[in-house]
Amino acid sequence: MSFILMTLIILAACAVLFTVAPLRKRLLTAPILKGFRAALPSMSETERAALEAGTVWWEADLFRGRPNWKGLTAIARPQLTAEEQSFLDHEVEEACRMVNEWQVNFKDYDMPKAAWDFIKQKGFLGMIIPKAYGGKQFSAYAHSQVVAKLSTRSSPLAISVMVPNSLGPAELLLHYGTEEQKNYFLPRLARGEEIPAFALTSPWAGSDAAAIPDFGIVCKGLWQGKETLGMRVTWNKRYITLAPVCTLLGLAFRLYDPDGLLGSTKDLGITCALVPHTHPGVEIGRRHIPMNTYFMNGPTQGDQVFMPLEFIIGGPKMAGQGWRMLMECLSAGRAISLPSANAGLAQLAARVAGGYARIRNQFKTPISRFEGIEELLARIAGYTYLNDAVRTLSAASIDLGQRPSVVSAIAKYHVTERARQVLADSMDIVGGKGICLGPSNILGLAYQQMPIGITVEGANVLTRNLILFGQGAIRCHPYLLKEMQAAQHPDRGQGLNDFDHAFWGHVRYTIANGARAIWHGLTASVFAGPGSQGPVEMRQAMRDLNRNAAAFGFLADITMLMLGGSLKRKERLSARLGDILAHLFLASCVLKRYEMEGRIREDADLARWCLQDCQVNIAQAFQGVFENFPNRFVGGLLRGLLFPWGITARAPSDQLGHRVAQLLANPGAARDRLTPICFVHHDEHDAVGAIEHALTAVLAAEPIEAKIRAAEKKGLFKSEPLANVRDIGQLAADRGIITAEESVVLKRRDTLRDRVIHVDDFPFEIHAASAESAAPPASAASLHARAA
């Protein structure tokens, strides 16, 4: 009896402790907050701005372990307006026809002047600028479509259009510019009268962009003949796209006010300014050569260049606000630019590799039927389908009003990495033709260029190891950011109240997440179903995703609880957790694409291949976290709780891979849906056009080839010595085995097939020519004349 009484007293005391807020705060929350503050790593203003920038969206549902499939399904399929569709069908097609990649990169070292004039006059550089300022005011989806299509034709063309519509002067002016700046610069940018560039990266500050050493000193100086309050700016930037030909240079630097001319603050912080290229002291014109791709990219310098404070974007009141401006605008551009460009490259490679594999015969068999080639084709098709799914949903999020900092990082990393794999696999398929550069080599230059997308806008290794989970955990978690903000609140009383609310909410959230994750583990996700949401044929995959999301949410919480601030230094552990979150998102994009496109039966195999591939990557990441958890006992315990029957995921089967590969190797609606944005020139002498014509010719010739093979098996040609395997076609026509019309079909097939497998060759003096071309392509003056 006394035991029962004691138990009741303890329970009553606990109830009072937890339910009486003042008591709970003093006895429990305050000591916990003190320990939390001690464990919390210091955070600079630049780190705070980066963490708090942008919004969270669907990825937050995944992180919290409870995906809202109904909400995802309710997102409408992105649609182009009539104006946007017309622009894609006409202006974009024409721009693609105007540019030849070989001519740009190996002869002229620049796009043709006619192409430059066309993209400026037709508004390509002002797609994000509102109509009120003379721009196109295209949706993010239309912007993405344009960049993706241009990328299937020419990287210099796509990049020259992509950069002015990404993070740069136009984007910053729209959000932060003064009315005077907007009214002057935006119409000029929309008309192509100004070519913008934005200079952020310095030799000593690449991925750590906040550490830029470029600086400005607030001072007085002469401007337009009058003494003016301004700043002397010194900078040394590199890797700046369009810098060699820009007329309007956006510049990021740290601004100091040692004499207190603007107030008491000495270090004002990172500041963004717009500087005309003709301003005294601005140095541009020299060029980098990024992987033999001659888009305009180069350094810019300036030493003690005086400029008025009015050059600051937003005017003097925005001095020191540059990092916040950049972080708030970064996610929109990063969610569109590189995912679109690399999804386009993947579609080009997929269409070329699939067609080539069907056209190219070895051992009297199309190489597309060899199992080794099928394995590559299946991966190419799967990654191409997934990349476009991610690109589309990421762009759609922008049009829904989101600024998805985590989604944009996932899209940038995984689309570029998968595009790199698609190109590597495609190069394996085209073989020797792919490694000999020339006008007829479609993939060689694209393969060379792949490291550019991997490196820029945050190197992929940094993105995976530090950003995907590091930023994702803080932004997507329902309580963690609130706890951090409460711990750093200047008002200690308010901080305690805020922390009390966030912390105990966090406790309830973790317990609920853990219970759900353990239950789904014990029941092998049988009861983790999405209900009536989603395609019936995909619901098992959705159950598995629900179960993995719950396990991830709980695992992430326990990991952060045990490691605290030291998790920043456990980069490989953070990377694996980021892999889980990212692949949950990628799988969601695949399901959304399959749903949006009408659950086409023929495409179900593509969706299944992608989902199974994502599940395998999720399983490997979970395994890696448990095996490398700092506390091995806790790692083993978590594995046993969350996956009591083991971590299992089935890779795509050979049969599934065969079906997916053949979708890519045979012309038809499925192949066209897989590469919907790919520019295909109708000229059979064009490198891509030749593959399309040859593919049609090969299929037309197959019944005729079958007749000849049957006659050959009967021994009808044994007495005839053949100088060439093709002589058999003429011999069959001479003997009446095939008709004259059928002979013409075979000859056309042979002509087009020869064109496809042709490898370019050059005069012996090619090395001398290359040495000459290695000199600087043009002076700064001639470059500006060309772009003007």
* Residue 294 CB coordination number (10 Å): 21
Residue 251: φ, ψ to 5°: -135, 130
Amino acid sitting at position 568: K
457 catalytically annotated: yes
Reference 325, options 421, 413, 198, 227; nearest CA is 198
Rounded CA-CA distance 593/386 in Å is: 9
Rounded CA-CA distance 624/238 in Å is: 38
Tell me the DSSP string of 197-212.
EEE--BTTBSS-GGG-
For 666, residues 6+ apart whose C-beta sits below 8 A from its C-beta are 358, 699
Q: Which of 194, 457, 692, 705 is catalytic?
A: 457
Tell me the DSSP string of 719-747.
TS--SSTTHHHHHHHHTTSS-HHHHHHHH
What are the tokens at 717? Answer: 């040609």
What are the tokens at 556? Answer: 């992430």
Count, in order, helices (H) and strands (E) of the chain.
Answer: 34, 8
* Residue 711 CB coordination number (10 Å): 17
DSSP structure class, residue 234: E
The torsion of the CA quartet 449, 409, 53, 506, rounded to 10 degrees, works out to -170
Residue with tokens 């476009």: 388
What is each CA distance from 320 to 166, 270, 317, 725, in whole angstroms? 22, 5, 9, 74
Amino acid sitting at position 132: A
Q: Are 158 and 119 in contact (CB under 8 A)?
A: no
Reference 746, options 760, 725, 719; nearest CA is 725
Rounded CA-CA distance 556/559 in Å is: 5
Reference 244, options 203, 188, 300; nearest CA is 300
* Residue 5 CB coordination number (10 Å): 9
Which secondary structure element, helix H or strand E, spans residue 658, and what is its range? Answer: helix 654-665
For 512, residues 6+ apart whose C-beta sits below 8 A from its C-beta are none
For 6, residues 6+ apart whose C-beta sits below 8 A from its C-beta are none
What are the tokens at 407? Answer: 């989604």
For 60, residues 6+ apart whose C-beta sits below 8 A from its C-beta are 475, 476, 478
Which secondary structure element, helix H or strand E, spans residue 18, and what is its range? Answer: helix 2-19
Rounded CA-CA distance 209/719 in Å is: 76
Work out whether the CA dihedral 555, 560, 562, 568 comes out positive or negative.
Answer: positive
For 442, residues 6+ apart whose C-beta sits below 8 A from its C-beta are 348, 352, 687, 688
For 664, residues 6+ apart whose C-beta sits below 8 A from its C-beta are 350, 353, 354, 377, 380, 381, 671, 674
Rounded CA-CA distance 138/116 in Å is: 20
Amino acid sitting at position 137: Q
For 600, residues 6+ apart whose C-beta sits below 8 A from its C-beta are 594, 673
List the end-to-end C-alpha distance of the chain, in Å, as a whole number.
Answer: 95
Residues that are catalytic? 457
